[in-house]
Chains A and B, each alone.
Chain A
């Protein structure tokens, strides 16, 4: 960052790019964004492979539809459909609720699927808690979420181990 500022101070390169141009479309300009400011959203920092990451974390967002799928499926983003924002807000609430409801039992992100007014939550669950406790949490979660969301919520749990790649 310091270097860039010095560069800018002495050479005025970013602002003078117009004057220095000889050919249209060609400009000699340095990349003056700050170091480390590239996009970091949803990309796991993998390093050399010592860290254990799930399949979800390992792939960047550009790999959606190629190597992984969306986590939240609804029709709000289609042409002519509205209320995508409400769906997103609800998603945030649902995910936070589930994170708290199943403490330490969720190896991966939840997948939310919406059909008409029904939400189906597909959650991977560790086999750690005893089975009746899982059923208790499922019943309680389904009822509470149905009442919040005013529509049927079906919680589908698939007990499995964490899958690392």
Chain B
């Protein structure tokens, strides 16, 4: 039924029965997710601007979880609850894992992959803690800018 609906967008009603139905990826969300799961971070962000459906899917945290732990043996299940509590996988990836990986890429050793994620998690936690401070401030941190512990990971010119 969905197929005919989409066919109507492209052809006149009269030609429906003659043409072969087109394959439209948005009809197969499960395949779409499998494909998007394998993208790198930048491509995933680009994919999020394609259409509303892709945007919704790309916001799904499990995709980003995959990205974080792609080169690492699957982590224990307790990691997920911790990461979600601290702000989610997308934030973990964009804030910590990606900069850590790119900085360490120069001198990366294969055995470090797990440690990179560990370090990213720790930095992520400190960042969460600082965000807590920013929102709970009773004027105590007046003048403090918002979370800054990850600033050292930002390069001065970052596209």
- Bound pair: A and B? no
Q: Measuring CB to CB, which residues of chain B are less than 8 angstroms from any residue of chain A? A: none
